[in-house]
Amino acid sequence: MTVTRPTDRALRIGTRASALAVAQAEQVALLLSTAVPGLRTQLVPTTTEADTWHGDLASLGGKGLFVKAIDRQLQRGEVDIAVHCLKDVPGDVPLPDGLIFAAMLPRADARDALLVPEGSPVTTPDDLPPGAVVATAAVRRRAQILARWPHLTVVQVRGAIDTRLRKLDGAGEGQAADAMVLGRAGLERLGLADRIVRDFGVDEMLPAVGAGVLVVECRRDDRPTRDLLRAVDDPATRAEATAERSLLYGLRGHCNSPIAGYCVTTADGRLELRGMVFSRDGSTVVHTRARGAMSEDPGTLGKRVCADLLRQGARDLIDSPGQ
């Protein structure tokens, strides 16, 4: 059934109800209102199953649960667009029927960042003693921390960013860790960048596929909304993200796969894509980097990098027990 958006009401924006997700949806609303004067928007927040789950996301079905409920609302016509962090959108399966990425916003800082309890003198993982505990939610970060700083102990932490920071500072149940690694983009969007004591360069910790990218979905058959969203689409970000997600799709990567992929546009206008796959403990790493030809499709670049990683044994790492 075709669902069209009446032009006499506000554009309904589907989003998770977390503080970060709402802040991201508000950013999209502001950009759209600036690009299209007179446009009215309305946020429609939803608490997803993943938001209320405190265990391992892999056992529940993966990070895709963060977006699944919102996408269903979009398919049913209950919202007009959906705003997601691209890194939360599953890359090993196609988008849900009838939905498309209508816009990708200019990429925010994709780097990972180190945070420590308030009052801690630590400014780098090198300052932490053997056995010190570093908390993070991502297997990709865990593998890279252990690969570079094998003297540390890495534990999983979940929950909203403010909840994680309270745990880090020891509120309620005692200090959860000696340090924590989170994405800089989310901290900036919540006004919490002052908590960062160190940014990890991409040579130290390669970002996740889609890190820092906000994507806006709409229904494929909703032509007026597709046309509207072109006003905020960033072609450079779209090209980079397409290369990264092509890599992820080829590797059949999911939320429990230690895969990193990061694409940039070089000064001469070409795309450069780096890909890495790790064992869970960081002891084995395969990596590659490639530049696209001037006329090469971004997806083709992603496939080339994927093929090189598979030649180096990435499939065994992804499929090994515990991965």
Q: Of 8, 56, 80, 88, which is the active-site residue?
A: 88
* Cα dihedral: 289, 126, 208, 83 (round 10): -150
253 vs 260: CA distance, rounded Å = 10
Verify whether residue 88 is a known catalytic residue: yes
Nearest to 274 by CA among 254, 282, 266: 266
Q: Is the dihedral of CA 185, 187, 193, 196 positive or negative?
A: negative
3-state class of 298 per DSSP?
helix
**Which H or E run includes 34?**
helix 19-35
Q: Locate tokens 């906000």: which residue?
A: 214
Does residue 185 contact residue 176 with C-beta atoms inside 8 Å?
no
Does residue 14 contact residue 70 with C-beta atoms inside 8 Å?
yes
Which DSSP state fits 52?
Answer: G
How many CB atoms sit inside 10 A of residue 148's CB?
Answer: 14
> Tokens in use for 282?
């960081």
323 vs 319: CA distance, rounded Å = 6
Does residue 116 contact residue 178 with C-beta atoms inside 8 Å?
yes
> Tokens in use for 254?
């999911």
137 vs 135: CA distance, rounded Å = 7
How many CB atoms sit inside 10 A of residue 179's CB?
Answer: 25
| C-alpha neighbours within 13 Å on the C-beta side of residue 290 | 23
185 vs 259: CA distance, rounded Å = 19
Residues belonging to the active site: 88
